[in-house]
Amino acid sequence: MDWALTLTILIIVIALVFDFTNGFHDAANAIATSVGTRALKPRTALIMAAVCNFVGAFLGQEVAKTIQSITNPPPGYAGLLLVGAALFGAIAWNLTTWYFGLPSSSSHALIGGIVGASIVAGSLIEWSTVWDKVVIPMVTSPVVGLILAFLFMRLIVQIFQNRNVTKVNEGFRHAQTVSAAAMALGHGLQDAQKTMGIIVLALVSMGYLGADAGIPGWVVFAAAAAISLGTAIGGKKIMTTLGRRVIHLTPARGFAAETVASAILYTTAFVFHAPISTTQVITGSILGAGVEKRFKAVRWNVGVRILWAWVLTLPMAALLAAFCYWIVNLFAHI
Protein backbone atom coordinates (compact mmCIF):
# COMPACT_ATOMS: atom_id res chain seq x y z
CA MET A 1 0.00 0.00 0.00
CA ASP A 2 1.19 3.51 -0.86
CA TRP A 3 0.93 5.05 2.62
CA ALA A 4 2.02 8.50 1.44
CA LEU A 5 -0.82 8.70 -1.07
CA THR A 6 -3.33 7.14 1.34
CA LEU A 7 -2.56 9.59 4.14
CA THR A 8 -2.58 12.53 1.73
CA ILE A 9 -6.03 11.54 0.50
CA LEU A 10 -7.18 11.20 4.12
CA ILE A 11 -6.01 14.73 4.93
CA ILE A 12 -7.74 16.06 1.80
CA VAL A 13 -10.97 14.36 2.90
CA ILE A 14 -10.63 15.94 6.36
CA ALA A 15 -10.09 19.32 4.69
CA LEU A 16 -13.30 18.86 2.72
CA VAL A 17 -15.09 17.88 5.95
CA PHE A 18 -13.90 21.19 7.40
CA ASP A 19 -15.20 22.91 4.28
CA PHE A 20 -18.53 21.16 4.78
CA THR A 21 -18.72 22.26 8.43
CA ASN A 22 -17.82 25.76 7.28
CA GLY A 23 -20.85 25.63 4.99
CA PHE A 24 -23.40 24.59 7.61
CA HIS A 25 -21.71 26.69 10.30
CA ASP A 26 -21.56 29.86 8.19
CA ALA A 27 -24.68 29.37 6.07
CA ALA A 28 -26.40 31.86 8.36
CA ASN A 29 -23.94 34.58 7.39
CA ALA A 30 -25.46 34.95 3.95
CA ILE A 31 -29.14 34.39 4.64
CA ALA A 32 -29.91 35.10 8.31
CA THR A 33 -31.07 38.65 7.69
CA SER A 34 -33.27 37.66 4.74
CA VAL A 35 -34.87 34.86 6.75
CA GLY A 36 -35.19 37.07 9.83
CA THR A 37 -37.10 39.71 7.86
CA ARG A 38 -39.15 36.99 6.12
CA ALA A 39 -37.92 38.16 2.73
CA LEU A 40 -37.05 34.54 1.97
CA LYS A 41 -38.25 31.23 3.33
CA PRO A 42 -35.49 29.24 5.07
CA ARG A 43 -35.45 26.40 2.52
CA THR A 44 -35.42 28.78 -0.45
CA ALA A 45 -32.69 30.87 1.16
CA LEU A 46 -30.52 27.82 1.86
CA ILE A 47 -30.79 26.55 -1.72
CA MET A 48 -29.98 29.98 -3.13
CA ALA A 49 -27.03 30.36 -0.75
CA ALA A 50 -25.70 26.90 -1.67
CA VAL A 51 -25.76 27.68 -5.40
CA CYS A 52 -24.13 31.09 -4.89
CA ASN A 53 -21.51 29.58 -2.56
CA PHE A 54 -20.57 27.11 -5.31
CA VAL A 55 -20.29 29.81 -7.97
CA GLY A 56 -18.43 32.20 -5.66
CA ALA A 57 -15.68 29.63 -5.09
CA PHE A 58 -14.63 29.99 -8.74
CA LEU A 59 -14.30 33.80 -8.65
CA GLY A 60 -10.72 34.04 -7.36
CA GLN A 61 -7.70 32.37 -5.75
CA GLU A 62 -5.80 35.17 -4.00
CA VAL A 63 -7.25 34.40 -0.55
CA ALA A 64 -6.14 30.77 -0.96
CA LYS A 65 -2.61 31.95 -1.73
CA THR A 66 -2.64 34.04 1.45
CA ILE A 67 -3.56 30.93 3.48
CA GLN A 68 -0.66 29.07 1.85
CA SER A 69 1.76 31.86 2.74
CA ILE A 70 1.06 31.79 6.51
CA THR A 71 3.39 28.85 7.16
CA ASN A 72 6.14 26.88 5.49
CA PRO A 73 5.40 23.28 6.53
CA PRO A 74 8.24 20.75 6.64
CA PRO A 75 8.34 18.22 3.80
CA GLY A 76 6.93 14.74 4.14
CA TYR A 77 4.74 13.31 6.89
CA ALA A 78 5.59 16.10 9.36
CA GLY A 79 4.06 18.65 6.99
CA LEU A 80 1.03 16.45 6.46
CA LEU A 81 0.60 16.13 10.22
CA LEU A 82 0.78 19.91 10.57
CA VAL A 83 -2.06 20.33 8.07
CA GLY A 84 -4.11 17.57 9.72
CA ALA A 85 -3.67 19.06 13.19
CA ALA A 86 -4.66 22.52 11.93
CA LEU A 87 -7.84 21.06 10.46
CA PHE A 88 -8.61 19.17 13.68
CA GLY A 89 -8.35 22.36 15.72
CA ALA A 90 -10.59 24.27 13.33
CA ILE A 91 -13.24 21.55 13.08
CA ALA A 92 -13.33 21.00 16.85
CA TRP A 93 -13.85 24.70 17.52
CA ASN A 94 -16.44 24.98 14.70
CA LEU A 95 -18.49 22.16 16.18
CA THR A 96 -18.23 23.60 19.70
CA THR A 97 -19.49 27.05 18.69
CA TRP A 98 -22.13 25.57 16.38
CA TYR A 99 -23.47 23.49 19.26
CA PHE A 100 -23.91 26.62 21.37
CA GLY A 101 -25.32 28.61 18.46
CA LEU A 102 -22.47 31.13 18.38
CA PRO A 103 -21.48 32.65 15.03
CA SER A 104 -17.71 32.35 15.43
CA SER A 105 -15.33 32.56 12.50
CA SER A 106 -14.45 29.38 10.61
CA SER A 107 -11.75 31.37 8.83
CA HIS A 108 -10.01 32.37 12.01
CA ALA A 109 -10.46 28.88 13.43
CA LEU A 110 -8.52 27.49 10.46
CA ILE A 111 -5.84 30.17 10.68
CA GLY A 112 -5.54 29.64 14.43
CA GLY A 113 -5.15 25.92 13.77
CA ILE A 114 -2.38 26.54 11.24
CA VAL A 115 -0.51 28.83 13.63
CA GLY A 116 -0.88 26.48 16.62
CA ALA A 117 0.30 23.41 14.72
CA SER A 118 3.16 25.37 13.12
CA ILE A 119 4.46 26.54 16.50
CA VAL A 120 4.62 23.01 17.90
CA ALA A 121 6.09 21.67 14.65
CA GLY A 122 8.78 24.35 14.61
CA SER A 123 7.62 25.51 11.19
CA LEU A 124 8.41 29.03 10.01
CA ILE A 125 5.36 31.30 10.42
CA GLU A 126 5.00 34.47 8.39
CA TRP A 127 3.92 36.66 11.30
CA SER A 128 3.71 39.73 9.08
CA THR A 129 1.06 37.94 7.00
CA VAL A 130 -0.81 36.89 10.14
CA TRP A 131 -0.76 40.48 11.43
CA ASP A 132 -1.49 42.29 8.16
CA LYS A 133 -3.94 39.83 6.60
CA VAL A 134 -5.62 38.33 9.68
CA VAL A 135 -5.35 40.32 12.92
CA ILE A 136 -5.83 43.82 11.52
CA PRO A 137 -8.76 42.84 9.25
CA MET A 138 -10.26 40.82 12.14
CA VAL A 139 -10.42 43.96 14.26
CA THR A 140 -11.29 46.51 11.59
CA SER A 141 -13.74 44.70 9.27
CA PRO A 142 -16.67 44.41 11.73
CA VAL A 143 -16.11 48.01 12.87
CA VAL A 144 -16.10 49.21 9.26
CA GLY A 145 -19.23 47.14 8.65
CA LEU A 146 -20.95 48.72 11.66
CA ILE A 147 -20.09 52.28 10.62
CA LEU A 148 -20.94 51.87 6.93
CA ALA A 149 -24.21 50.04 7.66
CA PHE A 150 -25.18 52.82 10.09
CA LEU A 151 -24.50 55.49 7.46
CA PHE A 152 -26.18 53.54 4.66
CA MET A 153 -29.24 52.92 6.80
CA ARG A 154 -29.38 56.60 7.74
CA LEU A 155 -29.36 57.45 4.02
CA ILE A 156 -32.18 54.96 3.35
CA VAL A 157 -34.25 56.48 6.17
CA GLN A 158 -33.77 59.97 4.75
CA ILE A 159 -34.81 58.89 1.26
CA PHE A 160 -37.87 56.82 2.22
CA GLN A 161 -39.09 58.52 5.41
CA ASN A 162 -42.21 59.99 3.76
CA ARG A 163 -43.11 56.91 1.71
CA ASN A 164 -45.74 54.28 2.42
CA VAL A 165 -44.20 51.91 4.98
CA THR A 166 -45.92 48.79 3.65
CA LYS A 167 -44.79 49.43 0.07
CA VAL A 168 -41.26 50.29 1.19
CA ASN A 169 -40.95 47.07 3.20
CA GLU A 170 -42.25 45.02 0.29
CA GLY A 171 -39.75 46.65 -2.05
CA PHE A 172 -36.83 45.95 0.26
CA ARG A 173 -37.95 42.34 0.68
CA HIS A 174 -37.47 41.90 -3.07
CA ALA A 175 -34.17 43.80 -2.91
CA GLN A 176 -32.96 41.45 -0.19
CA THR A 177 -33.05 38.55 -2.63
CA VAL A 178 -30.27 40.31 -4.53
CA SER A 179 -28.29 41.39 -1.46
CA ALA A 180 -28.52 37.89 0.08
CA ALA A 181 -27.27 36.36 -3.17
CA ALA A 182 -24.37 38.83 -3.18
CA MET A 183 -23.52 37.82 0.40
CA ALA A 184 -23.57 34.12 -0.52
CA LEU A 185 -21.28 34.74 -3.50
CA GLY A 186 -18.90 36.62 -1.22
CA HIS A 187 -18.98 33.79 1.31
CA GLY A 188 -18.04 31.28 -1.39
CA LEU A 189 -15.33 33.61 -2.69
CA GLN A 190 -13.79 33.97 0.76
CA ASP A 191 -14.34 30.72 2.62
CA ALA A 192 -14.03 28.04 -0.07
CA GLN A 193 -10.61 29.44 -0.96
CA LYS A 194 -9.34 28.83 2.56
CA THR A 195 -9.90 25.09 2.12
CA MET A 196 -8.21 25.23 -1.28
CA GLY A 197 -5.16 26.78 0.38
CA ILE A 198 -4.92 24.11 3.09
CA ILE A 199 -5.26 21.28 0.53
CA VAL A 200 -2.46 22.78 -1.55
CA LEU A 201 -0.25 22.91 1.59
CA ALA A 202 -0.78 19.16 2.03
CA LEU A 203 -0.02 18.43 -1.63
CA VAL A 204 3.14 20.55 -1.55
CA SER A 205 4.34 18.91 1.68
CA MET A 206 4.14 15.45 0.12
CA GLY A 207 5.67 16.54 -3.20
CA TYR A 208 2.53 16.03 -5.28
CA LEU A 209 2.52 19.71 -6.24
CA GLY A 210 5.27 22.26 -6.74
CA ALA A 211 5.54 25.13 -4.27
CA ASP A 212 4.91 27.68 -7.03
CA ALA A 213 2.20 25.71 -8.82
CA GLY A 214 -1.32 27.04 -9.17
CA ILE A 215 -4.38 25.50 -7.58
CA PRO A 216 -5.53 22.42 -9.54
CA GLY A 217 -9.02 22.58 -10.99
CA TRP A 218 -10.17 19.50 -9.09
CA VAL A 219 -9.23 21.18 -5.79
CA VAL A 220 -11.33 24.22 -6.66
CA PHE A 221 -14.30 22.05 -7.65
CA ALA A 222 -14.07 19.83 -4.56
CA ALA A 223 -13.89 22.81 -2.19
CA ALA A 224 -16.81 24.52 -3.95
CA ALA A 225 -18.93 21.36 -3.79
CA ALA A 226 -18.18 20.69 -0.10
CA ILE A 227 -19.03 24.19 1.13
CA SER A 228 -22.19 24.41 -0.96
CA LEU A 229 -23.37 21.01 0.31
CA GLY A 230 -22.79 22.13 3.89
CA THR A 231 -24.70 25.34 3.21
CA ALA A 232 -27.63 23.42 1.74
CA ILE A 233 -27.93 21.44 4.98
CA GLY A 234 -27.80 24.75 6.84
CA GLY A 235 -27.20 26.20 10.27
CA LYS A 236 -30.53 26.92 11.90
CA LYS A 237 -29.16 27.75 15.38
CA ILE A 238 -26.75 30.40 14.15
CA MET A 239 -29.29 31.70 11.65
CA THR A 240 -31.65 32.41 14.55
CA THR A 241 -28.92 34.19 16.55
CA LEU A 242 -27.96 36.52 13.70
CA GLY A 243 -31.39 36.98 12.17
CA ARG A 244 -33.55 37.63 15.22
CA ARG A 245 -31.77 37.56 18.55
CA VAL A 246 -29.26 40.35 17.95
CA ILE A 247 -31.95 42.75 16.70
CA HIS A 248 -35.39 42.61 15.17
CA LEU A 249 -34.62 43.52 11.57
CA THR A 250 -36.85 45.22 9.03
CA PRO A 251 -36.33 44.45 5.32
CA ALA A 252 -34.61 47.82 4.83
CA ARG A 253 -32.16 47.20 7.67
CA GLY A 254 -31.52 43.67 6.44
CA PHE A 255 -30.80 45.00 2.94
CA ALA A 256 -28.44 47.64 4.33
CA ALA A 257 -26.52 45.07 6.41
CA GLU A 258 -26.19 42.57 3.54
CA THR A 259 -25.17 45.19 0.98
CA VAL A 260 -22.43 46.66 3.17
CA ALA A 261 -21.15 43.22 4.22
CA SER A 262 -21.00 42.06 0.58
CA ALA A 263 -19.03 45.14 -0.44
CA ILE A 264 -16.48 44.49 2.33
CA LEU A 265 -16.13 40.81 1.36
CA TYR A 266 -15.41 41.62 -2.29
CA THR A 267 -13.05 44.49 -1.48
CA THR A 268 -10.93 42.48 0.96
CA ALA A 269 -10.79 39.46 -1.38
CA PHE A 270 -9.97 41.24 -4.65
CA VAL A 271 -7.99 44.26 -3.39
CA PHE A 272 -6.30 43.19 -0.14
CA HIS A 273 -6.32 39.37 -0.58
CA ALA A 274 -7.24 39.12 3.11
CA PRO A 275 -9.09 36.03 4.45
CA ILE A 276 -11.59 37.93 6.58
CA SER A 277 -14.46 36.49 8.56
CA THR A 278 -17.85 36.64 6.87
CA THR A 279 -19.37 36.05 10.31
CA GLN A 280 -17.79 39.13 11.84
CA VAL A 281 -18.54 41.35 8.87
CA ILE A 282 -22.26 40.56 8.68
CA THR A 283 -22.63 40.73 12.47
CA GLY A 284 -20.98 44.16 12.57
CA SER A 285 -23.20 45.31 9.71
CA ILE A 286 -26.35 44.04 11.45
CA LEU A 287 -25.36 45.94 14.59
CA GLY A 288 -24.75 49.10 12.57
CA ALA A 289 -28.12 48.90 10.83
CA GLY A 290 -29.76 48.36 14.21
CA VAL A 291 -27.95 51.14 16.07
CA GLU A 292 -29.23 53.62 13.48
CA LYS A 293 -32.73 53.06 14.85
CA ARG A 294 -31.71 53.49 18.48
CA PHE A 295 -28.94 52.19 20.68
CA LYS A 296 -31.28 50.09 22.81
CA ALA A 297 -32.71 48.35 19.73
CA VAL A 298 -29.71 46.01 19.78
CA ARG A 299 -29.65 43.14 22.26
CA TRP A 300 -26.14 43.83 23.47
CA ASN A 301 -26.03 40.80 25.77
CA VAL A 302 -26.14 38.58 22.66
CA GLY A 303 -23.49 40.76 21.07
CA VAL A 304 -21.21 40.21 24.06
CA ARG A 305 -21.54 36.42 23.70
CA ILE A 306 -20.61 36.72 20.03
CA LEU A 307 -17.64 38.93 20.91
CA TRP A 308 -16.32 36.31 23.33
CA ALA A 309 -16.56 33.67 20.58
CA TRP A 310 -14.53 35.94 18.30
CA VAL A 311 -11.85 36.64 20.90
CA LEU A 312 -11.44 32.98 21.81
CA THR A 313 -11.47 31.52 18.28
CA LEU A 314 -7.82 32.06 17.28
CA PRO A 315 -6.21 30.95 20.57
CA MET A 316 -8.58 28.03 21.21
CA ALA A 317 -8.24 26.62 17.68
CA ALA A 318 -4.47 27.08 17.99
CA LEU A 319 -4.37 25.19 21.31
CA LEU A 320 -6.50 22.34 19.98
CA ALA A 321 -4.32 22.02 16.88
CA ALA A 322 -1.11 22.18 18.88
CA PHE A 323 -2.36 19.47 21.25
CA CYS A 324 -3.34 17.25 18.31
CA TYR A 325 0.09 17.65 16.67
CA TRP A 326 1.89 16.97 19.95
CA ILE A 327 -0.11 13.81 20.71
CA VAL A 328 0.23 12.28 17.24
CA ASN A 329 3.91 13.20 16.99
CA LEU A 330 4.54 11.74 20.47
CA PHE A 331 3.33 8.30 19.43
CA ALA A 332 4.31 8.33 15.74
CA HIS A 333 7.77 9.94 16.20
CA ILE A 334 7.45 11.80 12.91
pLDDT at 245 over 60: no
300 has a pLDDT exceeding 70: no
pLDDT: which is higher, 39 or 130: 130
Helix, strand, or coil (residue 125): strand
- Indicate if the pLDDT at residue 28 is higher than 80: no
pLDDT at 249 over 80: no
Query: Which pLDDT score is estimated for 243?
Result: 45
User: Mean pLDDT over all residues of the chain?
Assistant: 87
Q: Where are the beta strands (DSSP E) in the chain?
A: 71-72, 124-125
Torsion of CA 61, 192, 264, 43, to 10 degrees: 140
- DSSP class of 241: I
- pLDDT tens digits along 69-80: 999 999 999 999
Could you give the dihedral angle defined by the CA atoms of residues 163, 167, 170 and 171, in that order, rounded to the nearest 10 degrees? -60
Residue 81 has pLDDT above 50, yes or no: yes
The pLDDT of residue 308: 78
Mean pLDDT of 245-252: 69
User: 189-227 pLDDT, tens per residue?
Assistant: 999 999 999 999 999 999 999 888 889 999 999 999 999
**Is residue 317 pLDDT above 70, yes or no?**
yes
* pLDDT attached to residue 298: 61
Question: Is residue 266 pLDDT above 80, yes or no?
Answer: yes
SS (H, E, C) 51-90: HHHHHHCCCCCHHHHHHHHCEECCCCHHHHHHHHHHHHHH
For residues 227-250, give the mean pLDDT.
66
pLDDT tens sequence across 37-55: 777 777 788 888 889 999 9
Q: What pLDDT is attached to residue 248?
A: 63
The answer for residues whose C-beta is within 8 angstroms of residue 121's C-beta and 6 or more apart is 73, 74, 78, 81, 82, 325, 329
Q: Pairing mode, if any, of strands 124-125 and 71-72?
A: antiparallel
pLDDT (average), residues 101-116: 86
End-to-end CA distance of the chain: 19
Phi-psi category of residue 210: left, alpha or beta, with phi > 0 → left and psi -120 to 50 → alpha: beta
Report the distance separating Cα 312 and Cα 298, nearest Å. 23
Q: Is the pLDDT assigned to residue 8 strictly greater than 80?
A: yes
Do residues 265 and 123 make contact, with C-beta atoms less than 8 angstroms apart? no
pLDDT for res 207: 93
